Amino acid sequence: MYPGKKRRDYNDIEFILSYRKDIIFREHATKLDIFQDSIELLFYLTKVLNAGFLDEVKRTGKRPEGSGAIIPVLFERNNHNLLAAYKLACIGLNNPAYLNLRTVFEGITQMYLLHFTDREAYIFYKQQLDTLTEDEEKELKNKHHWLRPSRIRAVLYAGEKKKQVDDFYILISNAAHPGIKRAMGDFDYREEVTVDVLSISLALSAASLMSIKNIYSDILNEEEAEEIDNILDRVTRELDGQVMDISPNHPGLKRD
């Protein structure tokens, strides 16, 4: 250690983050309350889905398999990433929060890809399990462009909605990978950035709930569907109607 230089105690660092947290919880209580309720419902729905899958196994004697079996894994991973983003946003660590939010966005679109496509879902499923044949890997590279986020969006969306979804994703990505000047701003509490990250967190929690309602409507009962609608209404009001609907609209997708 250099002479005359005092190392900052870890408790001092924690105090700064705790001070930020006090400000954020005081200034943005409504957003935080809605988000906590969203998280509670999202984690509850994992139990609902697992119970539904178990009933199906008991009824048919068959375990879930194929591309659809990955959707619940992506959903639960999204819940953890949303919770991580919330924890980071509550202490003003906004750039790391955006990284988690970008993962949530990508996870939702991957869930929709698995549900609304056939060949792309099959290829993505085998890619995740690392079981692609040599010919399938060539197909993934040449025809499906590695199913990168941009490719998945091209499969799921069309027209004006695709532009809106692309712009939303670019917004999150740019925030997750800021330039040096913008990154330095994360070292201090900035209310406008906190509002932005909390708003996007709410929007993506709503989108995640909507994805479960769209994909698993046959498992959810009326009360659970109403709870989802209630959270969606609260998020919509809090964000003044500026909620991004990222459910797919491409005319080439299969429909139930």
The 8-class DSSP code of residue 147 comes to G
pLDDT band at 186 (very low <50, low <70, confident <90, very high): low
Long-range contacts of 119-127 (CB under 8 A, 24+ apart): 120/144, 120/147, 120/152, 120/155, 121/67, 122/66, 122/67, 123/147, 124/67, 125/66, 125/67, 125/69, 125/70
Signed CA dihedral, 34, 36, 37, 38: sign only: positive
Q: How many CB atoms lie within 10 A of CB 214?
A: 15
pLDDT at res. 2: 60
Query: What is the residue extent of each domain of the chain?
Result: 20-239
Q: What is the pLDDT of residues 118-157, one digit of tens each?
A: 999 999 999 999 999 999 999 999 999 999 999 999 999 9
Q: What is the pLDDT of residues 191-209, one digit of tens each?
A: 888 999 999 999 999 999 9
d(CA 51, CA 145) in angstroms, rounded, equals 36
d(CA 232, CA 248) in angstroms, rounded, equals 18
Q: Which of 33-42, 92-101, 170-179, 247-256 has the lowest mean pLDDT?
A: 170-179
3-state secondary structure (DSSP) of residue 190 = coil
pLDDT at res. 4: 62
3-state secondary structure (DSSP) of residue 19 = helix
pLDDT at res. 185: 61
Signed CA dihedral, 57, 59, 61, 64: sign only: negative
pLDDT band at 241 (very low <50, low <70, confident <90, very high): confident
Closest residue by Cα to residue 46 from 212, 195, 201, 202 = 212
Residue 29 burial (CB < 10 Å; 0-12/13-18/19+)? exposed
Query: To the nearest whole percent, how much of the chain has pLDDT over 70?
Result: 94
Q: What is the pLDDT of residues 4-24, one digit of tens each?
A: 667 778 888 888 889 999 999
Q: Please, are residues 49 and 216 in contact by the beta-carbon 8 Å criterion?
A: yes
Quote the pTM value: 0.92
d(CA 92, CA 108) in angstroms, rounded, equals 25
pLDDT at res. 176: 81
Residue 37 burial (CB < 10 Å; 0-12/13-18/19+)? middle
Predicted confidence (pLDDT) at residue 184 exceeds the cutoff of 70: no
Query: To the nearest whole percent, how much of the chain has pLDDT over 90?
Result: 72
Q: What is the pLDDT of residues 62-74, one digit of tens each?
A: 887 888 899 999 9
